[in-house]
A and B are shown apart, each in its own frame.
Chain A
Amino acid sequence: MSGTFLGMPSFPKNAEKALQDSQLRYNLRKATHTIRAKRATVVEELPDWLELRAAGKAIKDETLRHLDRYLLQVEEAVTKAGGHVHWASDADEANEIVTGLVRATGQTEVVKVKSMVTQEIGLNEALAKEGITAYETDLAELIVQLGDDWPSHILVPAIHRNRSEIREIFLEHMAEWGRPAPDDLGDDPRMLADAARLHLRERFLSTKVGISGANFVIAETGTLVVLESEGNGRMCLTLPETLISVVGIEKLLPTWRDLEVFLQLLPRSSTGERMNPYTSMWTGATEGQDFHLVLLDNGRTKVLADEIGRQALRCIRCSACLNVCPVYERVGGHAYGSVYPGPIGAILTPQLRGMESPLDASLPYASSLCGACYDVCPVAIDIPEVLVHLRSKAPHGPAERLGLKAAGWVLDKPVRLERAQRLATRFRGLVPKRRLPGPGAAWTDTRDVPPVPEESFRDWWDRTEGGSR
């Protein structure tokens, strides 16, 4: 994954900072609760939701089980339909391919459809280094780009901004990127959306290269599918002469028919609508366009090799898990230090990037394991299961390892536990009331030391014969 977030402090430190920001907490609470309720309403409408969910899970598992075969099928179908297929094993290679393709057109500007994967590989930065400007066209991405900010939500990247903040950003920065915002811009969402329309209009009509990701790629037909709301996606997909789509290898679906499941699961889970306003589907070079598909690994095959962790690759990026997560709701997306925030990010990021950095090693702990994410996941990713699995793989400090080893030794034999308890009651006066000293201090940062009782339960039981005396 991209180096943008390298060197970021661990999740608890980020979270602590975010929790101080009451505006952020207000914005997040309002947004997540709104979308949560919308999702619940439209999911309830479908009597066969659980069957769709089971089918979605199975279809994705089947895709992953035979991913080699399906990728070759896509390659063949897209090539047959006049498109070009490229393979990139990591971010650098993907960026090189895309940069080369843009350069070959002689253009220095590209328009982009909102895409997680191009953020993951840091494509905009790579293009900028080669003198190519990438214009984000999704309204929320535009807000993020103009504000020189990071996305904080998969679906609504500017969820951490409220209307008056957005107005400020438009007034201050639109002129640097193109058509300035009107002077009398208010903070009504309608007015703000109109300003974005005007700002981007000319750009859409004249830019010759478009870059997108895809929600799905159908193996048997080579069809790409992009779901969106604003029409910026359609603009970027249809008007440019050259279209480059960068797609993670896990985005495949085996058959055209599989869309009947995912076009029900995704919009309802994601925006809480029966259907999103626009879905575009195209196969190969369409309507005279030059079409390139870049298939990206970038750590995905490593995730695939982990029997428990691989279910994270079923993810269709709906963001329902973010909206129900009590942790995400309070700390927001930036604390996760990745383009994939929230519960899904907590299991995807450490697997894609590894757990070498303090941030990545702390992500599997960014959860209370309440399981709400699993309940709403449209492809039934057992996020708590993967979190616990990753915790066991995460590096543990020497004090923690020593402590657990000692606890293991004590708990191994009843007589050891009994003696330890007696010892503890005898010296209970020496145990600090609130904070432990030395390496134990971290543990008491967020908890009080539990009081040691005068007598252990066992001793009480023996003394009173089970309370009868």
Chain B
Amino acid sequence: MSSRDQILSRIRSAVAGAPEVEISRSYQTSGQEAGRVELFAERVRDYRAIVHVVPGDELAATVARALSGRGARRVVVPGGLPEGWLAAVPGLERLRDDPPLSAAELDAADGVITGCAAGIAETGTIVLDAGPGQGRRALTLVPDYHLCVVSADQIVGGVPEAVARLDPVRPQTWISGPSATSDIELNRVEGVHGPRTLEVIITR
């Protein structure tokens, strides 16, 4: 008998006659609508990320200020990122992932700019799903600086609404603040292997 059949048959005899289970989902499945954007901004800030909330028409200027503030000149730009977001940045070297950039090239970049698939207010989480303007997972991992643009209509109240909105088949990365560790005496330290700086621009 193969291990597969062995495991399956052991399971069947172990649970034979066990009662059926009823799952009650009486927990909240939608978060508060009012103040969603403010809550999201506050919660992302809690993780010591840099957060800006700006009107849509100030996005390009905010992107330009953020990049020049860091002195980021060579920036990874995933396919499908709206060109307008970078319209106000002078002398930017765009690193396109086509053909795919090597890990070393990503490591040498000054940063990466992306959009996202969703934001979760209650937990201050940004979800990337490799869609347009986000690129494959390594793009937001290897560079030391991640600038992420979230539009207000992408922000949902809580985790259940985000799960309902997302496609499980797409590779996803849920990001809540910059990379961090609490392994040393449980002191939170931001910045280990992922980007040490996360900057978020929320447009309304």
Contacts and interface: CB of A to CB of B under 8 A. Distances in A.
Interface of A: 27, 30-31, 34-35, 47-48, 51-52, 54-55, 58-59, 61-62, 64-68, 71-72, 81, 87-89, 93, 137-140, 143, 156, 158-159, 162-163, 166, 189-190, 192-194, 196-197, 200-201, 204-206, 218, 221, 223, 229-232, 234-235, 237-239, 249, 256-257, 259-261, 263-264, 267, 271, 273-283, 286-287, 295, 297, 301-302, 304-305, 307, 310
B168 interface: yes
Nearest to B177: A277
B163 A260 contact: yes
Nearest to A264: B159
Given A230-B179, A277-B47, A261 B184 contact: no
Given A193-B191, A205-B107, A156 B176 contact: no
B22 interface: yes
B56 interface: no
A280 B173 contact: yes
A212 B15 CA distance: 29
Contact of A239 (B23, B103, B168, B182): B103
Contacts of B15: 64-67, 304
A87 B23 contact: no
B141 A88 contact: no
A235 B143 CA distance: 12
B23 A62 contact: yes
Interface in B100-128: 103-104, 107, 120, 122-125
A287 B137 contact: yes
Nearest to B182: A271
Interface in B4-42: 4, 6-8, 10-15, 18-29
Given A65-B20, A193-B192, A304-B15, A278 B183 contact: no
7 contacts: A65-B20, A156-B186, A162-B185, A234-B193, A257-B163, A271-B182, A301-B11
B24 A256 contact: no
Contacts of A205: 103-104, 107, 142
A67 B46 CA distance: 39
Contact of A62 (B3, B21, B136): B21
A55 B24 contact: yes
Chain A interface secondary structure, helix, strand, loop or mixed? Answer: helix
Nearest to A66: B15
A354 B166 CA distance: 43
Contact of B185 (A30, A238, A277, A310): A30
A78 B93 CA distance: 39
Contacts of A48: 26-28
Given A58-B22, A61-B21, A230-B194, A221 B181 contact: no
Interface string B159-187: 11001100011011111111111111111
Contact of B179 (A72, A218, A277): A277
Nearest to A141: B183
Contact of A295 (B7, B28, B194): B7
Contact of A87 (B7, B27, B123, B195): B7
A190 B187 CA distance: 9
A234 B141 CA distance: 7
Contacts of A31: 185-186
B152 to A, nearest CB: 20
B184 A166 contact: yes
Given A52-B27, A163-B184, A232-B193, A273 B176 contact: yes
